[in-house]
Structure 1
Amino acid sequence: MEHVSVSLYLHLRTPRQKNNMVTSTTQTQCPNCKSPIQAQIQQLIDVGQDPGAKARLLSGSFNHIQCGVCGFDGTVAVPIVYHDPQHELLLTFVPIEASMPKNEQERIIGQMIKRASDQLPPEERKGYLFQPQTVLTMQVLVERVLEAEGISKEDIDSQRATMRLFEEVLTLPEDQFEPFVKEHDAEFDATFFQMASLALQSIGDGNAREAMGARLEKIIEFSSFGKKLKAQEEAVKEATESLQALSEQGLTHETLLDLFVEAPDENRVVALANLTRRALDYSFFQLLTERIDQSQGEDKEHLTSLRQQILEITEELDRIQEARAAQSAAHLKTLLDAEDLDQALMQALPMIDDLFVGILQANIQDAEKRKDEDLLNRLSAIEQRLRSLAQESMPEGLKLAQSILEIEDEEGAIKLLEESKKEIDNDLLNALVSTIQQLEAADQQEAAARIQKVYKHALKLSMQEKMNPSD
């Protein structure tokens, strides 16, 4: 992680460039009722200058409008140029609905291609820039973008088939549901559930979301992959409970290893590894190797197999983490270059997680050490705006947890708990347990012990409140 933050810092020290996405707020007409709408129109998508632009295009949020008069929800029809210098890809698209004379199309497209070319250093201006490829539909444009990423036509067709399956199960009569799921069992795979999960999150209507959720629960119940997901979910729950129980006594490498050795199946081992990756360090594997050396027969085989399994899981987790770190670094670069930070943050919000925040904070520290005031001011502005957004959307229990964790002395934290005991909920308790685990993994035992006492007091107050709610 430290290496990522330093290399990102060096990259960020290059002169600040304007975002190459041609974006303007303009008044357009609703395609349905012709009412005037103020909309953000984006016509040049240059992923070399704005890495997040590709995600916005593929997610469907690109040039999206909603009409407050008739309820139209869709995309504005405007000429588009898509530029990906890494893959030497230059695409142009003019929707038929734009109803634009050919000479006007050529003028607008030409201006955007020139802008894309001008942003490149002279040595990177290659022949493909003089041979733009025209696509006739947005669907074909998206397919070409995906193909450049190594996603084949077959993969795209498979995703469409998954979407058709998803639409079919939403309208299927109740009495046909179970036999249909069993007949198409192999099609209800990871791709299907990922798509269904994203669709569920995007539904604004509570009743519709509840109805879709009930259908997905049935698919989980009847399908083979769904049963596997259920088993993994149960394994995570049980692993979390076992870690919480141990954290009250003090989690050590020895007790953690015991949990792995006693794991009833592979799902539990995977869940434990995901939850405790930071603790699976050299000392942990040294302890496991010592146990292998001291054991014989079936115990030795079991421990040897367990070591190999944990190594493979941690290697995969590290690969995923590296990819996520690179993606977070790219998102941070996009935010630093954004002319409108609030707009850029709202677009990037679904991709911001703990890893992104960690990289942001590491770069703030680097900027402070180097006394790079310009970079520090921009990074601090991002951090402050993120804090505000997080505070606005945070559940009450997490707000209380944050306030408690900001208090350095145990007595002050307990006093706040006493004053806010009616607000103690599972969000607060889980946040405290998670903090304890993180501190123990970082070998900050004193801080972990302090939060542990606060957690026990919060648990006690919670139980008292449930037993005497009117007090």
Structure 2
Amino acid sequence: MALSNVRCPNCRSPLSLRVEQLVDAERDPSAKARLLSGALNRVRCPVCGWEGQLATPLVYHDPQHELLLTYVPVEVSLPKREQEQLIGSLINQAISHLPPEKRKGYLLQPQAVLTLQGLVERVLQADGITREQLEAQRARLRLFEDLLRTPTDSLEAFIASHDAELDETFFQLASMTVQASREAQGSQAMNERLERALALSSYGTRLLAQQAEVEAAAESLGRLGEPLTREAVLDLILDAPSEAREAALASLARPALDYTFFQILSERIEKAEGDEKRRLTDVRQRLLRLTQEIDAAQEARVAQAASLLRMLVRADDLDRALREALPAIDDLFLGLLGANLQAAQERGDAATLERLRQIDDKLRDVIRDSLPPSLRLAQQVVAEPDEATAMRLIDEKAASVDGDFVNALLTMAQRLEVSGDAAGAARLERLHRHAVGVSMRHKLAGGHA
């Protein structure tokens, strides 16, 4: 996308930037995300500090929903003929990327919208989001703005009066708003306020309790040792002190909860009597429901990861798309990327393989650069195949061996243990113990190498 020369709407200073005028939801889903988040054509003038969305003609195209929208801001003083020529050329660009079989009648009847907000609403409505849901979203955004404006000494009272509204959807929407902000200092302040609100809210209290249950469940699974049998997992679940722990164990040990596992549980139910029989039956019902929910959530995550990967493969500006996609990158996405790399190599698809390798290389760079020094060191240590060399690396970088580093090694060791890699877990536990010693010696020495 070429640079365009425009003027700041506030002080009229000349600006050089990339202006997006065609949003093709199929070819570049990240452009659609920028449109919906308010980040599309957002600019900050280095002269006067004005920040906002640049007023420019737009064409929005979504072949899946057969939607073709046009928008020309009233403040853009273009003669009608020039407007028609510009919109026509943008529509032709959208059509040119479609195969002949997808060129349908809706392309001959573009729908004009009067405002940018109206365009966004039409896009969301096509995605199945109702006007009521849009209003609920706006209400949550207004609540977030009120939260940010609330004085610190009034924060607890504000949260108490809005506690029911501070739910999972609110915090997700607020987090997305923070991520869309381009001001680092402002983002940090918003994050700090959001974290404080989370800690004070009932939702945050429940979330912390769930995290504590997951940690306790992981610890108890780790104590089972190897090999991890279905009978041992079942005994652990039946001895769980609460349904929350039961759910955490089921989630962490999901691969063990297979047909044979439920056969073992059913046999115990048949042998039991009275209250114990009813208790075991209730446990079985809860576990069946939990496994269905876990599998459905996993399928949804896989679908989201696959959609994200397709978006990155088609993205015109890969660097930008990767930066925007980073919050959604997790172990599942990385595993899917690896599987697609292997599949492309096996079928000899050179073009796809090259693109996936490009994504993989750039993604590793972006992730590494975004990590604090201690977590970058943890990655280096874990990737080092020779244990003695890994320990020397910890010794040499003692100043970076902080709490985050030590916790990262412990977390990775626990994951390997749960997944059945006893040797890998033992190796990381030895490195963890070594790191704890290095950290303590470094602190006793006054923080000097």
Question: TM-score range, shorter-chain basis?
Answer: 0.7 to 0.9
C-alpha distance in structure 2 between counterparts of 1:94 and 1:83, whole Å: 15
Amino acid at match of 1:160: R
Describe the shift of the 1:230–1:182 C-alpha distance in structure 2 as closer, same or farther (beyond 3 A): closer
Q: Which residue of 2 aligns with 1:101?
A: 79
Relative contact order: is structure 1 or structure 2 higher (C-alpha 8 Å, sep ≥ 6)?
A: 1
Amino acid at match of 1:85: P
C-alpha distance in structure 2 between counterparts of 1:411 and 1:184, whole Å: 54
Residue 148 of structure 2 is aligned to residue 170 of structure 1: yes
C-alpha distance in structure 2 between counterparts of 1:256 and 1:428, whole Å: 30
Describe the shift of the 1:109–1:380 C-alpha distance in structure 2 as closer, same or farther (beyond 3 A): same
Q: Which residue of 1 aligns with 2:9?
A: 31
C-alpha distance in structure 1 between counterparts of 2:198 and 2:341, whole Å: 46
C-alpha distance in structure 2 between counterparts of 1:111 and 1:215, whole Å: 44
Q: Residues 232 and 267 of structure 1 are in contact (CA less than 8 Å); yes or no, is this contact kept in structure 2?
A: no
Give the superposed CA RMSD: 3.0
Q: Which residue of 2 aligns with 1:234?
A: 209
Residue 447 (structure 1) aligned to one of 421, 424, 444: 424
Describe the shift of the 1:205–1:78 C-alpha distance in structure 2 as closer, same or farther (beyond 3 A): closer
Describe the shift of the 1:412–1:301 C-alpha distance in structure 2 as closer, same or farther (beyond 3 A): farther
C-alpha distance in structure 1 between counterparts of 2:324 and 2:161, whole Å: 40
Residue 281 (structure 2) aligned to one of 304, 310, 322: 304
Residue 126 (structure 1) aligned to one of 101, 104, 107: 104
C-alpha distance in structure 2 between counterparts of 1:310 and 1:462, whole Å: 42
Deviation at 1:261?
3.1
Secondary structure of the residue aligned to 1:108 is helix
Describe the shift of the 1:276–1:210 C-alpha distance in structure 2 as closer, same or farther (beyond 3 A): farther
Deviation at 1:67?
1.2
Residue 347 (structure 1) aligned to one of 312, 324, 344: 324
Q: Residues 213 and 244 of structure 2 are in contact (CA less than 8 Å); yes or no, is this contact kept in structure 1?
A: no
Q: Which residue of 2 aligns with 1:360?
A: 337
C-alpha distance in structure 2 between counterparts of 1:230 and 1:450, whole Å: 35
Describe the shift of the 1:320–1:73 C-alpha distance in structure 2 as closer, same or farther (beyond 3 A): farther
C-alpha distance in structure 2 between counterparts of 1:197 and 1:360, whole Å: 26
Q: Residues 257 and 288 of structure 1 are in contact (CA less than 8 Å); yes or no, is this contact kept in structure 2?
A: yes
Question: Which TM-score applies when normalising by structure 1?
Answer: 0.83
1:329-348 correspondence runs (5 A): 329-348=306-325
Deviation at 1:211?
7.2
Describe the shift of the 1:384–1:177 C-alpha distance in structure 2 as closer, same or farther (beyond 3 A): closer
Q: Which residue of 1 aligns with 2:301?
A: 324
C-alpha distance in structure 2 between counterparts of 1:433 and 1:180, whole Å: 38
Residue 192 (structure 2) aligned to one of 207, 213, 218: 213
Amino acid at match of 2:349: D
1:379-398 correspondence runs (5 A): 379-398=356-375
Q: Which residue of 2 aligns with 1:247?
A: 222
Secondary structure of the residue aligned to 2:82 is helix
Residue 400 of structure 2 is aligned to residue 420 of structure 1: no
Deviation at 1:360?
1.3
Describe the shift of the 1:242–1:425 C-alpha distance in structure 2 as closer, same or farther (beyond 3 A): farther
Residue 261 (structure 1) aligned to one of 216, 238, 248: 238
C-alpha distance in structure 1 between counterparts of 2:387 and 2:194, whole Å: 47
Amino acid at match of 2:415: Q
Residue 50 (structure 1) aligned to one of 25, 28, 34: 28
Q: State which drifts further: 320-329 or 69-78.
A: 320-329
Deviation at 1:44?
1.3
Describe the shift of the 1:388–1:306 C-alpha distance in structure 2 as closer, same or farther (beyond 3 A): same
1:278-293 correspondence runs (5 A): 278=255, 280-282=257-259, 284-293=261-270
C-alpha distance in structure 2 between counterparts of 1:463 and 1:285, whole Å: 47
C-alpha distance in structure 2 between counterparts of 1:107 and 1:176, whole Å: 55
In structure 1, stretches of 5+ residues that fail to align are 1-22
Deviation at 1:469?
4.7
Describe the shift of the 1:267–1:242 C-alpha distance in structure 2 as closer, same or farther (beyond 3 A): closer
Q: Residues 95 and 136 of structure 1 are in contact (CA less than 8 Å); yes or no, is this contact kept in structure 2?
A: yes
Deviation at 1:293?
4.4
Amino acid at match of 1:429: V
Q: Residues 162 and 192 of structure 1 are in contact (CA less than 8 Å); yes or no, is this contact kept in structure 2?
A: yes
Deviation at 1:36?
1.5
Q: Percent identity?
A: 46
Amino acid at match of 2:366: L
Q: Which residue of 2 aligns with 1:141?
A: 119
Deviation at 1:187?
3.0
Q: State which drifts further: 304-313 or 208-217.
A: 208-217
Question: Which TM-score applies when normalising by structure 2?
Answer: 0.87
Paired residues, what number? 445
Describe the shift of the 1:257–1:331 C-alpha distance in structure 2 as closer, same or farther (beyond 3 A): same
In structure 2, stretches of 5+ residues that fail to align are none
